[in-house]
Amino acid sequence: MKLRLAAAAAIVGLTAVHAVAQTPSPNIAAAVADAGRPEKDTKLDASRHPAEMAAFARIMPGEVVMDVWPGGGYWSRIFSKAVGPKGHVYAYVPAEIAGFKSDPVGVAKAMAAEPGRENVEEVSQPLGDEPPADFHNTMDVVWTFENYHDMHNSFMKGADVNAFNKAVFFVLKPGGSYVIVDHAAPAGSGLKNTEDLHRIDPAALRAEVEKAGFRFEGESKVLANPEDPKTAKIFDPAIKGKTDRFAYRFVKPKA
């Protein structure tokens, strides 16, 4: 698994006593400006704020990053340039979705085969499986964007999300970051809207991740939308691309 992410100048609000400024990173700015990114990716930049999100994830040159559920490869491409030739990006496709008509494994392999993506590698295994021993303490960042809620849904065939979080803990280096961005459901709703609205209660997500041993470190508000009533499905044209999204950063304790 290989993954690095870069981000440009940004100030990211954290759930701490005060906001924390993210130092501008030339490698992230260059990754976002990469002329090799396809138009279908760059059209999404206005709604995804890749520079700010990559800065929040603290992707650095030479790191090993895992992009969980990479979809069309939007984040994997950015991470690939951000970590550079000495870094590595793993585009991890859960085996539970490998048979989808959209062919997510094939899409990830094609993305990894693009010119300049030699540091990207597609990997796939069941969500809750124990990672191979040689992956222990090897990752700097594990990232997943707008898909954590899906891990709870029926098409995942009962995948063990708690086991997955423990697997992430296993592969991360001490001090490594687990960054999750997702669509917010109403407070107190828990997991009841993961399938119908494709949203998740941030508190429920945080409780699951902390249960695996992670320490919550901060939150970015860059993708927040307080005007979203959180009652519509995320694909509803009235709210698509404008949902209230939260970004949480968790850290594997060093001791």
Domain ranges of the chain: 10-251
d(CA 222, CA 53): 8
Question: Which pTM was predicted?
Answer: 0.91
User: DSSP character for 62?
Assistant: T
What CATH superfamily classification does 10-251 receive?
Vaccinia Virus protein VP39 (3.40.50.150)
Residue 13 has pLDDT above 80, yes or no: no
Question: pLDDT at position 7, please?
Answer: 32
C-alpha atoms less than 13 angstroms from C-alpha of 147 in its C-beta half-sphere: 17
Cβ atoms of 169 and 211 closer than 8 Å = no
| pLDDT tens readout for residues 227-242 | 999 999 999 999 999 9
| pLDDT tens readout for residues 85-118 | 999 999 999 999 999 999 999 999 999 999 999 9
| pLDDT tens readout for residues 132-163 | 999 999 999 999 999 999 999 999 999 999 99
Question: pLDDT at position 23, please?
Answer: 54
Mean pLDDT confidence for 180-204: 98
CA geometry: angle 39, 44, 49, nearest 5 deg: 125
Residue 191 has pLDDT above 90, yes or no: yes
- Among 97, 226, 218, CA closest to 245: 226
- Among 100, 123, 122, CA closest to 112: 122
| pLDDT tens readout for residues 165-177 | 999 999 999 999 9
- Among 75, 74, 93, 57, CA closest to 180: 57
Tokens of residue 163, six digits: 């086991």
Q: What is the H or E stretch that residue 84 is in?
A: none
> Which residues, in sequence order, are bridge partners of residue 142?
66, 178
Question: pLDDT at position 255, please?
Answer: 78
At 60, the amino acid letter reads: M
> Which residues, in sequence order, are bridge partners of residue 2?
89
